[in-house]
Amino acid sequence: MIPESPALSWDGPVIELQNLCRNFGETRAVDHVSFTVPRGSVFGYIGPNGAGKTTSMRILATLGLPTSGEALVEGLSAINDPERVRSRLGFMPDSFGTYADTNCAEYLDFFARAQGLIGRERTRRLRWVMDFTGLRGLANKPIRGLSKGMRQRLCLGRALVHDPAVLILDEPAAGLDPRARIDLRRIIRSLAAENKTILISSHILTELSEMCDRVGIIEQGKLLATGTFEEIRGTLKQNREIVIRVAGETDDAMRSLQSFEDVEVLSSEGHKIHFTIHGGDQRQMDLLRSLIGAGIELLEYSSRDDSLEDVFLQITEGRVQ
């Protein structure tokens, strides 16, 4: 179990960006981005390279200044009150430096001391971090000898050593093998279950769809959509892939399907027909009722909803800046 944190008095959004802007010369890397993240939830930040994710995350982590707007952690300004924000926040960048000939225990101890932890409290936190990240058995191993997955765990341990209320994770799953990604997903959900608030970016959208409570999609510095996956998907024209298997020949079923304007037949093989339909659950029910009413003998009917990747491709245009 994660050690209990001190009593939390702030009951507003734990993370809040307010019309955040950041210019680099003529390029606006972050363009009036606003969103909030409540306590104990995981917010997935999605966008192509150069979309503005890392820039806005670094501003929130007190590592950069905006051109305008505000970034708040538990109501404290990351711009005007950075020291108090840092005490509440852990940041895991997409890449991190190490020190030559330093082992895992020494590395974490250095950052615990840098956070002002002393005596028994430092010993307790270091013991918990090593156990939670699975690094206890590697305490004396030089960092240069760690695998990519173990290095990511070490960086996460560094971000957790002072027991922050907020975690900002920039591409934590990059380069990890499938088992390491599963472990990371489990770790993140367990942290959220203990009231940690997590902002995470990733290019592996299937990972985000399984671990995030809400997502924000950003492109060219603009936040295009935010909300739960279901809320965002509900605003789009839904395309559902459907497979049916019929008894006998498919000719009658093909003719019936082709009579619908919102149905596109993709392929027919044996007794199966693959097609797409534009619409939600009600449209599927109407179609199924029509097929049965037309005397089509259905042996199988299955559908696949749009995934987070499908939604991302519908909302974004692949533009870079």
CATH number of the domain to which 256 belongs = 3.30.70.1150
What is the CB neighbour count within 10 angstroms for residue 137?
9
pTM of structure: 0.78
Whether residues 161 and 250 fall in one domain: no
In a domain, residue 85? The reply is yes
In a domain, residue 315? The reply is no
Per-residue pLDDT at 305:
67
CB-CB contact of 44 with 216 (8 Å): yes
Interacting residues of 70 by C-beta distance below 8 A, sequence separation 6+: 16, 17, 18, 19, 20, 77, 79
Whether residues 181 and 73 fall in one domain: yes
In a domain, residue 234? The reply is no
What's the domain range around 185? 15-229
Per-residue pLDDT at 149:
86
**CATH number reported for the structural domain that contains residue 57 in this entry:** 3.40.50.300
Mean pLDDT over 294-298 rounds to: 90
CB-CB contact of 49 with 102 (8 Å): no
Whether residues 225 and 253 fall in one domain: no
Average pLDDT, the chain: 87
Domain count, the chain: 2
Confidence at 5, pLDDT banded by 50, 70, 90:
very low
What is the distance between the alpha carbons of residues 223 and 46, in angstroms, rounded to a whole number? 10
Whether residues 139 and 281 fall in one domain: no
In a domain, residue 130? The reply is yes
Mean pLDDT over 262-286 rounds to: 84
What tens digit of pLDDT does each residue of 187-242 get?
999 999 999 999 999 877 777 777 899 999 999 999 998 988 878 777 666 677 88
